[in-house]
């Protein structure tokens, strides 16, 4: 039988000591404060060359640069938190680590949160910020031809939807999408949702459903592509992708199904299921070696993508340059 990693088990005890409980049992403002406090689990914030708070049109963003060199590639990053909590502050350490490891700038987006601002506020903020960064890249010391999106959990959902929007709306061109255990299907009905019944998990099936309800309300079209990317009619024409999942995660199967659908549509995909860990492990990089390994995997994969030819090259040529002779899809786990 699969077992939780020993470091993961210790981390679950730490979370409990911090006051973590199912989101439905918490006051939302206290839950949001806990998300900020939990940033300490990502490790000590690494120094970077510069940090600047700017406005991408109407959307607040924080721009991290690991060096003062000009023409840096940039990753537009969307934090997790079930669309209802988290923010630039909650993901500060992990964003700094990615920027330093990958040698690229990171633009962390402070998108609007539900339930005060329901769908499509978060994804439209995400798209608007990404387009603004592309259009204003030169004045920010960034390379407009090397823009990627990334995110974890709800942020992975936003990154996936922004990639769809960019394709559908004709701009901006994206080099890559890095999706860490992304939510991809509002139906929330799959085998991993039925398997993950351990109440110790940081994300339970009941919480998954609660988050979707808080984000969408009762009127949203749950089958639309910008709500449930897994149900999009077409997934061709999207940038190459990295999809990371956790073994003990109720949304594992929908994320892996999305990776499979991308692959079937001709998108080059790397799929990695990390064994023995739960949803959220990416944000526990300061406590769990597999979390740190996943952060480095994202950083190094994006770095390789940026080191290839510019996105004006043919998509197939770009994919070959990024992934070389590697198979279109493969599973990796860190012991």
Along the 335 residues of the chain, how does pLDDT read in single tens digits? 589 999 999 999 988 888 888 999 999 999 999 999 999 999 999 999 999 999 999 999 999 999 999 999 999 999 999 999 999 999 999 999 999 999 999 999 999 999 999 999 999 999 999 999 999 999 999 999 999 999 999 999 999 999 999 999 999 999 999 999 999 999 999 999 999 989 889 999 999 999 999 999 988 899 999 999 999 999 999 999 999 999 999 999 999 999 999 999 999 999 999 999 999 999 999 999 999 999 999 999 999 999 984 544 333 333 333 433 333 333 444 33
Supply the pLDDT for residue 329. Answer: 36
Asked if 249 is an active-site residue, the reply is yes
Supply the pLDDT for residue 67. Answer: 97
- 314 burial via Cβ count (<10 Å: 0-12, 13-18, 19+): exposed
Supply the pLDDT for residue 1. Answer: 52
Supply the pLDDT for residue 334. Answer: 39
What would be the CATH architecture of the domain defined by 6-323? 3-Layer(aba) Sandwich (3.40)
Supply the pLDDT for residue 71. Answer: 96
Q: The dihedral of CA 317, 270, 41, 288: what is its sign? A: negative
Q: CA 83, CA 181: separation in Å to the nearest integer?
A: 14
Q: CA 300, CA 303: separation in Å to the nearest integer?
A: 5
Options 92, 185, 249, 253, the catalytic residue: 249
In what helix (H) or strand (E) does residue 260 lie, and over which residues does it extend?
Answer: helix 252-264
Q: CA 78, CA 159: separation in Å to the nearest integer?
A: 7
Asked if 153 is an active-site residue, the reply is yes
Task: Reduce the DSSP state of residue 53 to 3 states and report it.
Answer: strand
- CA–CA distances in Å: residue 245 to residues 67, 90, 124, 176: 31, 20, 25, 17
Supply the pLDDT for residue 311. Answer: 42
Q: CA 144, CA 91: separation in Å to the nearest integer?
A: 24
Asked if 279 is an active-site residue, the reply is yes
Options 90, 108, 153, 228, the catalytic residue: 153
Q: Which residues lie below 8 Å from residue 84, measured CB to CB, with a gap of 6+?
A: 23, 28, 31, 32, 113, 114, 115, 211, 214, 215
- CA–CA distances in Å: residue 299 to residues 106, 212, 214: 11, 29, 31
């Amino acid at each position: 039988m699969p077992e939780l990693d020993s470091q993961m088990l210790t981390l679950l005890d730490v979370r409990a000591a911090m006051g973590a409980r199912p989101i439905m049992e918490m006051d939302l403002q206290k839950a949001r404060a806990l998300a900020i406090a939990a940033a300490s689990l990502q490790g000590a914030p690494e120094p970077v060359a510069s940090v600047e708070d700017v406005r991408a049109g109407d959307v607040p963003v924080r721009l991290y640069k690991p060096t003062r060199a000009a023409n840096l590639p940039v990753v537009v990053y969307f934090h997790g938190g079930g669309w209802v909590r988290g923010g630039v502050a909650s993901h500060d350490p992990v964003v700094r680590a990615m920027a330093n490891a990958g040698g690229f700038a990171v633009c962390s987006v402070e998108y609007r949160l539900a339930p005060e601002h329901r769908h499509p506020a978060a994804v439209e903020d995400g798209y608007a910020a990404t387009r603004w960064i592309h259009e204003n890249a030169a004045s920010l010391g960034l390379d407009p031809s090397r823009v990627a999106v990334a995110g974890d959990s709800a942020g992975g959902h936003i990154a996936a939807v922004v990639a769809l929007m960019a394709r559908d709306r004709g701009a901006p061109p994206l080099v890559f999408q890095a999706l860490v255990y992304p939510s991809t299907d509002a139906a929330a009905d799959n085998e991993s949702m039925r398997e993950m019944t351990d109440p110790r998990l940081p994300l339970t099936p009941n919480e998954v459903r609660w988050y979707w309800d808080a984000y969408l309300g009762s009127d949203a079209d749950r089958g639309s592509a910008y709500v449930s990317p897994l149900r999009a009619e077409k997934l061709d024409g999207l940038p190459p992708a990295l999809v990371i999942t956790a073994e003990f995660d109720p949304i594992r199967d929908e994320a892996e199904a999305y990776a499979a659908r991308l692959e079937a549509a001709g998108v080059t995909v790397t799929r990695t299921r990390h064994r023995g860990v739960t949803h959220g492990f990416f944000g526990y990089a300061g406590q769990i070696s597999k979390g740190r390994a996943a952060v480095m995997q994202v950083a190094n994969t994006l770095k390789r993508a940026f080191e290839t030819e510019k996105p004006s090259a043919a998509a197939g040529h770009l994919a070959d340059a990024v992934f070389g002779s590697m198979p279109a899809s493969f599973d990796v786990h860190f012991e």
